[in-house]
Structure 1
């Protein structure tokens, strides 16, 4: 579970829920097949496909010191019909 960081909740990800697609922030070393296998075993669902992308690091500047946040990776899991994943709300 440490490779899956959290479920991403944005306007776009909420729209994707209507198409049975779920968005997650994951560890940057995680592969699509590892993510697919993990989701299928943990949530007991069938995954049709996985899309992944890297989110660039944000560069911020504070006075004379520049701060860099680490880059992130997000994956969108597309499930087969009649399967769903409950939302993780904190």
Structure 2
């Protein structure tokens, strides 16, 4: 397991993804997150286990394609993120939708 400081682990995870596809994956105990592009699978696993106190059994990642962004006459690209699909152990659960 990779040794990383806890403050650095918190910065690797950007946000959870709540889309139709991501909510379907919740039935299989899989959660989707935007993570830093430089994050590795062991680092993502350690960050999720540390932040949410759960047991991670698998991490799948993929890089999103660039998307063009235009501001006036200037053309650039949006900030790119890596997306991680994290599979948890059957007894673990992350509460993305707290009761309000």
TM-score by length of 1: 0.87
SS at match of 1:67: strand
Q: Who is 2:74 aligned against?
A: 65
Q: Conserved in 2, the CA contact under 8 Å of 1:23 and 1:77?
A: yes
Distance 1:27 1:85 in 2: 20
Q: Conserved in 2, the CA contact under 8 Å of 1:57 and 1:72?
A: no
Displacement of 1:76 after TM fit?
0.5
Displacement of 1:44 after TM fit?
1.6
In terms of fraction of residues, the more strand-rich structure is: 1
Q: Which runs of 5+ in 2 are unaligned?
A: 1-9
TM-score by length of 2: 0.79
Q: Deviations over 1:9-51 (max 9, x none)?
A: 1000000001000000011111100111121122121111000
Q: 2:22 aligns with which of 13, 17, 27?
A: 13
Number of equivalenced pairs? 89
Q: Aligned ranges for residues 74-85 of structure 1 at < 5 Å?
A: 74-85=83-94
In terms of fraction of residues, the more helix-rich structure is: 2
Q: Which runs of 5+ in 1 are unaligned?
A: none
SS at match of 1:37: helix
Task: Tell me, yes or no, if structure 1 residue 30 matches structure 2 residue 39.
Answer: yes
> What is the alpha-carbon root mean square deviation over aligned residues?
1.7
SS at match of 1:18: helix
| Runs of 4+ more than 6 Å apart | none
